[in-house]
Chains A and B, each alone.
Chain A
Amino acid sequence: MRKFTFALALMGSTAITAPAFAESHLPIVEEPLELTIHMHWARAQGYGPGGDTSKIYPVEEVAREKTNIHLIDQTSGRNSTDQSEAMNLLLATGNLPDIVGGAKVQQPVNEYGPQGAFVPLNDLVEEHAPNIKAWFDEHPDIWNAIAAFDGNVYYIPYLPDGKYARAWFVRQDWLDALGLEQPDNVDELYDVLVAFRDQDPNGNGEKDEIPFFVRDWEEVLRLLTLWDARSTGADVYHQFYLKDGEVAHPYAQEAYRDGLANIAKWYEEGLIDAEVFTRGSSARDYLLGENLGGMTHDWFASTSGYNIALADKVEGFNFIPFLPPKSVSGVRIEENRRIPMKPDGWAITFANEHPVETIKYFDFWFSEEGALLANFGVEGKTWDMVDGEPIYKDEVLNSGQPVNSQMYLEGAQVYRGYPQDYRYEWQWTRESAREGIELYDTEDLLVEQFLGVAFNEEEQAVYDKYYPSIVTYMLERQQAWILGSGDIKEDWDDYVETLNKMGLQEVLEVMNSAYARQYS
């Protein structure tokens, strides 16, 4: 086995032509050094292709050859696909490997790091990781965002690239059929939706159109931005957001009251899918496939695929992105965007006897060479450098398999800490989606994101005590108002009072104190 590995590595080395990064000193160690790793994420429970640890990622082969560091799988909870469960199992056994990585490591690492389970990385990065340091020097807010409450950084995150995630889509062929323009503001949007409802754009003689639909009901809340309210401040729903440099909750704002009142009105008028709360993930397939849905807010990449998929089924089908309509005050924003850092990545445990070598190894993946390897796979095998750009080979792009799935098996795009390169995704993004992204790039639509805070123990206790009940109450009231049981304008004062009684102010206080500590 060892001989075989060695031979492969030799073959790999002859293929690699990328220039060495100036500050890197490769290999990191003269004699091969084995480090154990826990790597648990959705696509692989274990550090091997698809979780099969008896095989070695092609990317790992090259990394071994380059760095002389060999990652050896020691993943806990491989029989579960739940990362938190696996992490708990790992921590509870106390037998920690050298490196802990995978999805959703941020919370446990930042909670148990200060307790001594993980090594603080600040000094190690400063002294031994020039590439990581260079990246975060350019993004200091992200460095702050990943820090634990004690100010130390305990993990190197997976850093997604690219800006837009979801966008507004409309049936352009319906607009054309009714002689309408794409709606440019909230009033025009209302008129278009009414027209979709009343004027039989699908031409079947029945009033069965569903003007606005979504897959996750929370996407309906994006409509709030049309009345200058917010639905969330991050890439997950119902999150705190930054209002004039302070942490605030979007569902406790007066703009929210007005926006939600309008959403309730639209829902009652039949402009929003009546079954929005239970339609679920098949809503898009069903409503587009049956020629019933007119408009949605959904992912660029997947939603742009319907023009091809439904070309034969629905005559003239043309579902395209359009710019977010301007709000009542004339502001045009796209609230949803890609988060710049994920809670995924990797960390060094207290059991690791080679923290310096390990941070140097982490740093390798931030070097130009390492980043290309982490993003695109092995050069010459899955991609070639053409005019200074990494370009996938045709057999990768046209294999019939999604490129990301192929990369996962190569060992690229795996949830190690590395900077993602959007060129990877752009190459296999459909033309229609690219056009949409370019359209969204014509204006400055993005708003500042709330990247989260790390609580100390007292703050965490306050948050745990109050917040889960508060958010439950907020969502209960929210759905009730949309469904028309109760009028938000009448109930508002009671609602705010209840939120305060439930401890919203206390939660905001710890939020802001943590925020001030972390981002000052």
Chain B
Amino acid sequence: MSDLEAKVGGSTEELVIEASEALRTRKASRIERIGDHLRNEWQLYVMLIPTVVWLLVFLYKPMYGLQIAFKDYSIFRGVAASPWVGLEHFQTLFGNDQFLRALKNTVIISFYGLIFGFPMPILLALMFNEILAQTFKKTAQTIVYLPHFVSSVIIAGIVITAFSPSAGIVNTVMGWFGIDPIYFLTKPEWFRPIFVGTGIWQEAGFQSIVYLAAIAGVSPTLYESAVVDGASRWQMMWKITLPSIMPTIIIMLIIRIGNMLEVSFEMIILLYQPATYSTADVVNTFIYRQGIQGGQYDLAAAAGLFNAVVAFVLVMTANTISKRYSRTSLW
């Protein structure tokens, strides 16, 4: 108290000096605190090092190469020595009708995938959760997980065979109802349903594992309590299970939205034909034909950068919306 009175009595100059001195001492003590902290917790920082190194080497260092999107890139000259061309590659892309079409197709196919493909693993997980017979449950799970482990080439072969106009199961069944065979894989209007359906068949089972794990984490007393309250199995599924795994669902949805433009392109390459390009050609396949096959890495990088920017915007938007309305968010 007497100190304070002394300060109040002193000149402003003195006050400033004292204040800055006070600041300095506070700063020094903060550095000391950090030093103490490092001395005490160094084991934690050592454990952090591999992750930081991994991030730097595999995620941040490659960002250096992104600049080729703005360069006339030559592999031999290297990234640094290749000349700058500004936005030329982006102009090339957006001046190309086929790129714009591919962009449109990508969005539509992703959107279909989201609408039809996203709920499927959730439904599967809910269904598995209701199966009581363990043997049947395990068998069913194995069967739906299986396509995930089969190579895309074989999956595509199965799809092509299934939709064959002469021998395919689909056309055979249609034949029973007197419908003329359709050469599905050459019909642009059929490509997206077939592709999205194939994706669901291939991945829904495996993706359901995440939701099954979330369901396993729901406290069993919630169900017991509901049983005593008189809830039916159906009501428990809708009023307990589904809301309980909602945070998982939302996180998965945000991640999925971030990958919107990443359509599984090897599958498209295996299934599409020039005849179906009008609905099947996506950004990745366009880049594949245009860029990689022709060695135009700079153009491919430009398209990839564009994809990444769009994905970033999508994730940010989805996350913000989710944070505001459902309290769940990635960060």
Contact = CB atoms under 8 A, between A and B. Distances in A.
Interface in A104-128: 107-108, 111-112, 115-117
Contacts of B97: 469
A94 interface: yes
A441 interface: no
A278 B98 contact: no
Interface in A412-470: 464-465, 468-469
B277 A476 contact: yes
A107 B160 CA distance: 34
A20 interface: no
Interface in B73-124: 74-78, 92, 96-98
A112 B160 CA distance: 41
Interface string B273-287: 111011001000000
Given A115-B76, A483-B186, A475 B274 contact: yes
A274 B182 CA distance: 11
A277 B96 contact: no
A351 B183 CA distance: 55
B296 A464 contact: yes
B92 A465 contact: yes
A479 B165 contact: no
Nearest to A475: B274
A472 B160 contact: no
Contacts of B77: 115
Contact of B274 (A107, A275, A472): A472
A456 to B, nearest CB: 14
Residue of A278, A475, A478, A479 most packed against chain B (CB within 10 A): A278
Nearest to B81: A115
A121 B59 CA distance: 42
Nearest to A350: B76
Given A464-B294, A472-B98, A480 B275 contact: yes
Interface string B283-324: 000000110011110010000000000000000000000000
A366 B277 CA distance: 46
B166 interface: yes
Contacts of B274: 472, 475-476, 478-479
A386 interface: no
Contacts of A92: 75, 78
A278 B275 contact: no
Given A468-B290, A472-B98, A476-B277, A278 B164 contact: yes
B75 A476 contact: no
B75 A88 contact: yes
Contacts of A483: 183, 186, 275
A402 interface: no
A277 B289 contact: no
A403 B273 CA distance: 36
B185 interface: yes
Interface size class of A (residues with CB under 8 A): 20 to 34
B275 A479 contact: yes
A111 to B, nearest CB: 8
A468 B275 contact: no
A151 B105 CA distance: 43
B76 A117 contact: yes
Given A277-B186, A278-B160, A112 B98 contact: no
Interface string A458-502: 000000110011001101101110010100000000000000000
A113 B54 CA distance: 36
A328 interface: no
Nearest to B281: A472
Given A117-B76, A464-B294, A468-B289, A275 B275 contact: no
B80 to A, nearest CB: 12
Interface in A74-104: 84, 88, 91-92, 94
B301 to A, nearest CB: 13
Interface in B175-194: 183, 185-186
Contacts of B98: 469, 472-473
A260 to B, nearest CB: 13
A96 to B, nearest CB: 9
B189 to A, nearest CB: 11
A275 B165 contact: yes
A280 interface: yes
A276 to B, nearest CB: 10
B285 to A, nearest CB: 10
A88 B275 CA distance: 32
B273 A479 contact: yes
Contacts of A112: 74-76
A467 B31 CA distance: 63
A485 B76 CA distance: 46
Contacts of A485: 275
Contacts of B186: 277-278, 479, 483
Nearest to B168: A275
Contact of B275 (A84, A107, A277, A473): A277
Nearest to B292: A84
B289 to A, nearest CB: 6
Contacts of A280: 157, 160
Contacts of A475: 274, 277
Contacts of B96: 469
Interface in A262-301: 274-275, 277-278, 280
Interface string A218-256: 000000000000000000000000000000000000000
Contacts of A88: 75
A468 B74 CA distance: 20
Given A464-B294, A469-B96, A483-B275, A91 B289 contact: no
A472 B294 contact: no
B185 A278 contact: yes
Interface in B156-211: 157, 160, 164-166, 183, 185-186
Interface in A139-165: none
Contacts of A107: 295
Given A274-B165, A275-B183, A479-B274, A468 B76 contact: no
Contacts of B294: 464, 468
B160 A94 contact: no
A190 to B, nearest CB: 23
Contacts of B92: 465
Given A91-B75, A464-B294, A464-B296, A275 B277 contact: no
Residue of B96, B273, B278 most packed against chain A (CB within 10 A): B273
A94 B185 CA distance: 45
Contacts of B78: 92, 94
Nearest to B163: A278
Contacts of B299: 464
A277 B272 CA distance: 10
13 contacts: A84-B295, A91-B76, A92-B78, A108-B295, A115-B77, A274-B183, A275-B164, A277-B185, A280-B160, A478-B274, A479-B273, A479-B275, A483-B186
Interface of A: 84, 88, 91-92, 94, 107-108, 111-112, 115-117, 274-275, 277-278, 280, 464-465, 468-469, 472-473, 475-476, 478-480, 483, 485
- Complex A-B, nearest 8 residue pairs according to Cβ-Cβ distance, in ascending order: A475-B274, A479-B275, A112-B76, A91-B75, A479-B274, A468-B290, A476-B274, A117-B76
Given A84-B295, A275-B165, 6 more contacts: A115-B77, A274-B183, A277-B186, A277-B275, A476-B275, A483-B186
